[in-house]
Chains A and B, each alone.
Chain A
Amino acid sequence: KQEVTQIPAALSVPEGENLVLNCSFTDSAIYNLQWFRQDPGKGLTSLLLIQSSQREQTSGRLNASLDKSSGRSTLYIAASQPGDSATYLCAVVTGANSKLTFGKGITLSVRP
């Protein structure tokens, strides 16, 4: 059974800091990994999608990497801003199942 872990559960950083959010998964037979952002009381916004054959994806100040063999992904946020404050979730699709298995998320607070 796939399990996804995100540690720590919460993170507070000053504005302008570069930061890395970690995600680990137990079963390396993934099809892809997707990072989402969730603002309080809202739905999920997709940030980056990494296919199992890819090593990384970039979008603006965001860069996500994937190391399937070690069961890890990182989301790098450059020059953090208060508007980046949200919960960040990673999720994987494993094997033949067309479903996402989510981590519990990391709640990020960027202090002005």
Chain B
Amino acid sequence: KAGVTQTPRYLIKTRGQQVTLSCSPISGHRSVSWYQQTPGQGLQFLFEYFSETQRNKGNFPGRFSGRQFSNSRSEMNVSTLELGDSALYLCASSLGGQGVYGYTFGSGTRLTVV
């Protein structure tokens, strides 16, 4: 079966711009989570969506937002980009709540802000 698909794989943006990242979960998975990975902070949780509702949110500024569509695909948006937003953004899908069946990650989107 197809895995978690993230697009695009690479992005270069200028400070102040906004960006939208996309994640298509494994078919049948209704939970989609987003994580930011940087060398200094490691992997940090951004937010989780389940059945189109944001169920959990990490400690990130309001410039980071997301949404989930009825087909479980999710998008993440970052507005007014800052240099510190440069990171690998990873999406994970799960069949149910609390990751009972574990999480499957995509290959990530590498965002570079210049």
Residues of A within 8 A of B (CB): 31-32, 34, 36, 41-46, 49, 51, 89, 91, 93, 96-105
The digit string for B75-110, where 1 denotes a CB below 8 A from any CB of A, is 000000000000010101010011111111111101
B107 to chain A, nearest CB (A): 4
Contact B99 A32, beta carbon cutoff 8 Å: yes
Q: B28-43: which have CB < 8 Å to A?
A: 31, 33, 35, 42-43
Q: How far is the CB of B98 from chain A (nearest CB, A)?
A: 5
> Are B98 and A93 neighbours in the complex by a CB distance under 8 Å?
yes
Residues of B near A89 (CB, < 8 A) are 43
Which residues of chain B are within 8 angstroms of A46 by Cβ–Cβ distance?
Answer: 102-105
Majority secondary structure of chain A interface residues (helix, strand, loop or mixed): strand
Contact (Cβ within 8 A) A98 B107? no
Range class of the B interface residue count: 20 to 34
Residues in B lying within 8 Å of A, measured CB to CB: 4, 6, 31, 33, 35, 42-43, 45, 48, 50, 55-56, 58, 88, 90, 92, 94, 97-108, 110
Chain B residues near A101 (CB-CB < 8 A): 45
Find the A residue at minimum CB distance from B46.
A99
> How many pairs of A and B residues are in contact by the CB < 8 Å rule?
69
Check B99–A31 contact: CB distance below 8 A: yes
- Asked whether B33 lies within 8 Å of A99 as measured between CB atoms, the reply is yes
Quick one: which of B55, B88, B98, B110 has the most chain A CB within 10 A?
Answer: B98
Is there contact, CB below 8 Å, between A100 and B98?
no
Alpha-carbon gap, A96 to B31, bound state (A) = 14
Known contacts A31-B99, A41-B110; A98/B105 CB under 8 A: no
Q: Are B107 and A99 in contact (CB under 8 A)?
A: no
Q: How far is the CB of A89 from chain B (nearest CB, A)?
A: 7
Q: Which residue of B lies closest to A102 (CB)?
A: B43
Given the known inter-chain contacts A99-B48, A99-B58, A100-B45, please indicate yes or no for A34 contacting B100, CB distance below 8 A. no
Given contacts A43-B105, A46-B105, A103-B42, 14 further A-B contacts (CB under 8 A): A34-B99, A43-B4, A43-B6, A43-B106, A44-B105, A49-B101, A91-B43, A93-B99, A98-B33, A98-B48, A100-B33, A100-B103, A102-B43, A104-B42
